[in-house]
Amino acid sequence: MGNDAYALKGIIVCTPDFNTIEYHENEYVICENRKSRGVFKELPKEYEGIPVIDYKDKFIIPGMCDMHLHAPQYGFRGIGMLLDSDSEWETWFDTYSFPEESRYFDLTYADKAYGRFVDDLLTNTTTTRACVFATIHRPATELLMRKMADAGFSAYVGKLNMDRNSRYGLQETTKESLTETKRWIEETMNGYGAIKPILTPRYTPTCTDECMEGLGKLSVWYHLPVQSHLSEGLDEIEWVKKLKPQISCYGEAYDQYGLLGSSEPSLMAHVVHPTDVEFELLTRRNVMVAHCPQSNMNAAGGVAPILDMVGAGIKVGLGTDMAGGCNLSLMRAMTDAIQASKLRWVYTKRNGDPFAKKQFLTVANAFYLATKGGGTFFGNVGSFEKDYEFDAVVLDDAPLADFILRSVSDRFQRVLWRHNEDTIHAKYIQGKEVYLKK
């Protein structure tokens, strides 16, 4: 037994598999050497005498993994949610996203904005791991990585690449994009604790073939994963067809340069409208889909076929997609995913049959995607099973209680749908307490 071993005690909630959720009341989860040793009714003999932090009637859950968010968009969250039915989603980029991202050329501004983002992510959410888009600006991207490392997070952060079809000073030359990316990789691979670089071509319309080819070579040379967007909207898919008429599907635009999991892991956000060809390609590649239900609905993009993906063996995690989504909470992403899957079932499977078998995401399914599902991108993460990295969040549902004694499963559903920042009581990442509510 290591000298750093300790246990948390409370109502432990976990999902060992996609269809199972477990509630362990008044039990222990043990951390040793930053790894989980499992969940126990009583402390094993070899761990008797270790420190125990008793959270009593509070929930203890594995830390959640936000698989897709844009940190520089945090400042204008909740603005421009396609409320005007005559507007186009591209208007949102021109009016809000690109002008805001261009401000990160100024490190003074970046310091203030990223500081608020990291503080809120730490104290107001269940997120312990994340895959984050920054901007094209190398210095500001490194600043974000430092701030996330200082806060104790484990994450991938990406410097954006855009060498065509951009505006507001956000378009690099191909040479600039690749040169700055290589410099950024070499400066950050080993210098920011558990914050690692991830190659981040914004998406095919903003990256030339030469840029994509160069990023593919960097991925292989430095053994770096890749994140981007794929088949998010029908208009985007048509744009890609015009830019690359020779390819069989949107995913091939990444795959032809080794950016779709043929060599290093790949993370693709949205995938709302995969064709049969693209769907089959995803099953053959080391790709995870970051399901972002809130932003998909805000953009009127559609509802991704998540149950079909999981059934086909495609890895899936959840993303908040700040600021296409307006909320940093992965618990909100869970409930959005459940509601979106219900709508997909109603309009694609039910066919008006009042007695049709229900086929949509359950609480267990969504909780798995937010924890162990996304966690596989980071290794053994997102569970309290033995030898998983110890990430945990303590939730206090006392302010939500009514005057009836509820089951723990009912209480847990209530905290998912009604949580707020006061629900977050404590947070542990890789075995270290990084936040405790005062």
CATH class of 6-63+382-436: mainly beta
pLDDT at 421: 86
Q: Taking the CB of residue 27, how many other CB atoms lie within 10 A of it?
A: 18
Give the distance between the most distant pair of CA atoms in the chain: 67
Distance CA 246, CA 314 (A): 26
Side chain identity at residue 14, one-letter code: C
Distance CA 172, CA 331 (A): 37
Q: What are phi and psi of 169, to 5 degrees?
A: 75, 15
Distance CA 341, CA 360 (A): 5
Task: Using DSSP, state whether 76 is helix, strand or coil.
Answer: helix
Q: What is the pLDDT of residues 347-385, one digit of tens each?
A: 998 888 888 989 999 999 999 999 999 999 999 999 999
Distance CA 146, CA 265 (A): 24
Distance CA 58, CA 423 (A): 10
Side chain identity at residue 180, one-letter code: E
Q: Taking the CB of residue 348, how many other CB atoms lie within 10 A of it?
A: 12
Contact 424, 125 (CB under 8 A): yes
Q: Residue 346: CB partners within 8 Å, gap ≥ 6? A: none
Which residues of the chain are modeled with pLDDT < 50? Answer: none
Which helix (H) or strand (E) is 35 found in, with range?
strand 35-40
Distance CA 109, CA 152 (A): 22
Sign of CA dihedral 131, 224, 107, 146: positive
Contact 227, 260 (CB under 8 A): no
Contact 15, 368 (CB under 8 A): yes
Please spell the DSSP secondary structure of 283-328, one letter per residue.
HTS-EEEEE-HHHHHHTT-----HHHHHHTT-EEEE---BTTBS--
Distance CA 235, CA 133 (A): 22
Task: Using DSSP, state whether 54 is helix, strand or coil.
Answer: strand
In terms of Cα–Cα distance, which of 64, 65, 3, 15 is closest to 39? Answer: 15
Distance CA 68, CA 367 (A): 16
pLDDT at 63: 99
Query: Hunting for tokens 């086929």 — which residue is that?
Result: 359
Distance CA 301, CA 89 (A): 9
Hey, which CATH number is domain 64-378, 3.50.50.60, 3.30.460.80, 3.30.70.660, 3.20.20.140?
Answer: 3.20.20.140
Task: Using DSSP, state whether 200 is helix, strand or coil.
Answer: strand
Side chain identity at residue 428, one-letter code: Y
Distance CA 2, CA 343 (A): 49
Distance CA 141, CA 153 (A): 15
Helix, strand, coil shares, percent, the chain, to 5: 40, 25, 35
Please spell the DSSP secondary structure of 325-366, one letter per residue.
BS---HHHHHHHHHHHHHHHHIIIIITT-TTPPP-S--HHHH
| pTM flag (> 0.95) | yes
Query: Hunting for tokens 């959720």 — which residue is that?
Result: 21
Q: What is the pLDDT of residues 257-284, one digit of tens each?
A: 999 999 999 999 999 999 999 999 999 9
pLDDT at 196: 98
Distance in Å from the first CA to the final CA of the chain: 31
Domain(s) labelled CATH 2.30.40.10 in the chain stretch across: 6-63+382-436
Task: Using DSSP, state whether 433 is helix, strand or coil.
Answer: strand
